[in-house]
Structure 1
Amino acid sequence: MARPKRAVGELGKVTYSVEPNGLVVARARVFDGSGKERRPYGSGATEAEALASLQEAADVVVGRVLARRVELTTIAELAERWLKVAYHDDDPRVLRQRREQTVDGYASVIRAHILPRAGAIPITDMTADRADGLLMDVAREKTVMTANKVRNVLSLMYDWAIQQGLFSAAGSIQQTRHGAVVVANPIRATRRADEPSTVYFELDAVQVKYILHLIREVWPERHRARFPVGRRPNFKLLADYILITLGTSERTAEPIAIRFQDVRFEAVEQPDGSLTMEALVWVGGTMVRTRSRGLFRQDSPKAERQKRWVRAPQFAAKVLSELVANHVPNPELNPDDVLFTSERGRPRDPSAVSQLMRMFRREFEPELLAIGVDAEHLTFRSLRKAVAAAVSGMAGVEVARDLLGHSDESITEGHYAKRPELIVDGAADALDKVFAGTDA
């Protein structure tokens, strides 16, 4: 009786030989995807290492379509493999790999919430109802937003597991050579938590002037009276940062990444013949921190398409001109030549500026409430919302969209700028012109 033909990708009889230098070489025959017999080999210090090397060579010869997949059993193993491979591979189909700080964020969610609760659970045991219970526990013990982050990371992990062949994309429960496997992403069947409604934030000129008055004049005196000696908060930094954020609508870590070459001044002739100096700011970077690189300037904002020139209003142009005038290049400590630097000449950390804002809110919560500003909502992101509200109200949501760098007006309206309540006024004027005389 004839011997059955080997399956495509299946190794034939493995033979071993020892080279004069002591290296073990393993050889075998294998059929590739076209049915042609190939003869790969592998080497190693031992027969086991040589066999593993041979199998890797066979996988390359046969093609990735038949390459063996790594067998993973627990969620902890899946998470470890996913973080190493999913966003750091050499897949030519991926034009833009996930940024390092994004992967660091995924790792933080896994380390803080997923592994302590479900790390030892076999991946096939994570059903939709169990995953839903896990997310409910996270929402109760932490926050709704944290639960949604956990859901997102788990879903990405299981999508990758399906793509790797550990799960099937159709059916219910499937028996494989590795045992029974879940056949679809169970996380997608869980309920996504409802996040709190967007809180719109608006400021007028009087409120801004009073906030700056508190920062520049009241806070220094109060702090000096309470702490006669010791290091003082950088009051000027916070005031300047607020003005630039209001003038450019940049995200929290973007103003601190403005470089000397990112500011351009132009002389503009006014209708009365006088000249004024206007400032243009290039929004083209942000400061980020990762575990491997520490603090550095990323050469793009949140997304590459959001790079843009912004014409700064006079109050922001004044701050920018002062920063440019006082700037001292230092290629060693400040290689990117950013304008906001520490006392030692290094780029500032965005977290330090955010900490200043938190200190100010704690110190002046009663005063802020007295002028109609909820201290809890006074953040740099809320200042960006205030810019969106002011610009959309005066110039339209399209201008606000371009200023904020959004790709779609719905993002601006959904998260930053309220749709005006009396939009029918403009419609009535248009209808009167089009249908004039119909009531005669």
Structure 2
Amino acid sequence: MTFTVESNGLVVARARVYDGSGKERRPNGSGATESDALVALQEAADVMVGKVLARRTPLTTISELATAWLKTAYHDDDPRVLRQRREQTVDGYASVIRAHIIPRAGAIPIADITADRADGLLIDIAREKSVMTANKVRNVLSLMYDWAIQQGLFTAAGSIQQTRYGSVVVANPIRATRRADEPQTVYFELDAVQVKYILHLIREVWPERHRARYPVGRRPNFKLLADYILITLGTSERTAEPIAIRFEDVKFEAVEQADGSLTMEVLVWVGGTMVRTRSRGLFRQDSPKAERQKRWVRVPQFAAKVLSELVADHVPDPERNPDDVLFTSERGHPRDASALGGLMRMFRREFEPELLAIGVDAEHLTFRSLRKAVAAAVSDTAGVEVARDLLGHSDEAITEGHYAKRPELIVEVAAEALDKVFAGIDA
């Protein structure tokens, strides 16, 4: 590609390119500056042979690569990509880049990151932060380098890099690093007595203790935490999914029993989650973690009672609650999962000795651990297949590997299993 300046001051860019059949083409473009001429040349080449002259931004450092890659990750218009990354996912990438990658490696030239050097960086992060943080950094760095290779900024194959062991040939240097082994899953099982005592602490002991300690001022929402624990145990939903349950997502069905009596059963549609992004703030996403995980769940009686109360007390407010969710704040807006997490942490700090006395490690009492408790209860009673369907997993191996052990006893319905395991917890 060459640039020449005509007598009238116009800059002309010329290039020699080859189309798909190998035929030589010579597009050109002109403009007031070299940049303008290059744009015109690119447009002319696009018409002739396609995007063979796509503009490449010279990137030299990890910081520059991260900035350029994030722009693409947020706004990927490639027609070959059927499912774009969700904005909250890219927000997570941006957070990892901002907190760990740029402070530690932002000024390093991208060609100087060898597998050996990257591995040392990940070891330091694992020691200073956590193994999970190191794996997140590794994942983001690998995605960045894959994109750099695709952009022609880094050789995909045959790159010779010098390490302390000599010259090695690599492609993406991050892929040659070791992924850290994360801690083994802690199986968390709660029985009805433990859950009943936890609810007793939240509903009765905590309000009295807090009132005695702080006679005036805002009080924690004790009822919200208790209701949320029951809903989580009854539906096995992830932390931000119960607060996304809408009025229309709850269905009541009358079922005739063998003795002729009627009972009311409650079905919940697990079809959304509350998320927060930098651009949109808090909003309801119209699918759980994955689209395929949408499902109807018949809930046990203890959760049906809470849902019935929420439905009965619900007042539509299109302005403040446009999605018509059941869990709302005092001002009528949708709830944020972070506030519920804060409530749970506050409870754990307040009652750590009492929890330890009943065999519950306060550190492991989280909404995610309650989901594990549901999986363990259902798989032990109804089978891992039922637990898989209840949790919305695509594979039993996921359920077994992260949430539940394979049981020996098999029955049919998850709600019946939960009513059996947690009978009387809301008495």
TM-score in terms of structure 2 length: 0.89
Q: Which residue of 2 aligns with 1:110?
A: 97
Structure 2 equivalent of residue 140 of structure 1: 127
Moved over 6 A (4+): none
153-162 or 404-413: which moved more? Answer: 153-162
Which of 71, 78, 89 does residue 91 from structure 1 map onto? 78
Distance (whole Å) between structure 1 residues aligned to residue 376 and residue 42 of structure 2: 58
Matched, 1:273 2:263: no
Whether the 8 Å CA contact 1:268–1:275 is kept in 2: the answer is: yes
CA offsets per residue over residues 356-380 of structure 1, 9 Å max, x none?
Answer: 0001111111111111111100000
Higher relative contact order (Cα pairs below 8 Å, separated by 6+ residues): 2
> Who is 1:207 aligned against?
194
Match of 2:333 among 342, 346, 365: 346
The one-letter amino acid paired with 1:325 is: A
Q: Which residue is 2:288 aligned to?
A: 301
Q: Distance in 1 between matches of 2:71 and 2:8?
A: 34
SS in 1 for 2:154: coil
The answer on whether the counterparts of 2:3 and 2:11 sit within 8 Å (CA) in structure 1 is no
For residues 315-372 of structure 1, give each alpha carbon's deviation from its aligned partner in whole angstroms, at most 9, with x where no partner exists: 1111001101111111111111100000100001110011000011111111111111
Q: Give, as a single letter, the amino acid of the residue that structure 2 aligns with 1:204.
A: D
State the Cα distance separating 1:213 from its structure 2 match. Answer: 0.6
CA RMSD of aligned residues (A): 2.3
Q: Distance in 2 between matches of 1:39 and 1:197?
A: 60
Report what 2:158 is aligned to.
171
In 2 relative to 1, CA 31–149 (structure 1 residues): closer, same or farther, beyond 3 Å? closer
Q: Distance in 1 between matches of 2:325 and 2:382?
A: 31
Percentage identity across paired residues of the two chains: 82
For 1:329, the aligned partner's letter is P
Matched, 1:404 2:426: no
Which residue identity does 1:208 align to in structure 2? V
2:39 corresponds to 1:53: yes
SS of match in other structure, 2:122? helix
1:374 paired residue among 356, 361, 364: 361
Q: Is the 8 A contact 1:167 1:183 kept in 2?
A: no
2:424 paired residue number: none
1:182, CA displacement in angstroms? 7.9
TM-score by length of 1: 0.86
1:185 equivalent in structure 2: 172
Matched to 1:41, the amino acid is G
8 Å Cα contact 1:162-1:168 kept in structure 2: yes
Aligned pairs, how many?
Answer: 402
Q: Encode CA deviations 1:54-74: one digit per residue, 9 max, x unaligned.
A: 233145233234534332111
* Paired amino acid for 1:212: L
Contact 1:392 1:417 in 2 (8 A): yes
User: Is 1:41 aligned to 2:29, yes or no?
Assistant: yes
* Matched residue SS, 2:179: coil
Superposition deviation, residue 411 in structure 1? 0.3
Distance in 1 separating the partners of 2:33 and 2:6: 7
Q: Distance in 2 between matches of 1:14 and 1:399?
A: 72
Residues 135, 215 of structure 1: alpha-carbon distance in 2 compared, 3 angstrom cutoff: same
Matched residue, 2:67: 80
Structure 1 residue 386 corresponds to structure 2 residue 379:
no
Match of 2:228 in 1: 241
> Residues 74 and 27 (structure 1 numbering): CA distance in 2 closer, same or farther, change over 3 Å?
closer
For the residue of structure 2 that corresponds to 1:64, the secondary structure is coil
Q: Is residue 203 of structure 2 the alignment partner of residue 220 of structure 1?
A: no
Contact 1:17 1:25 in 2 (8 A): no
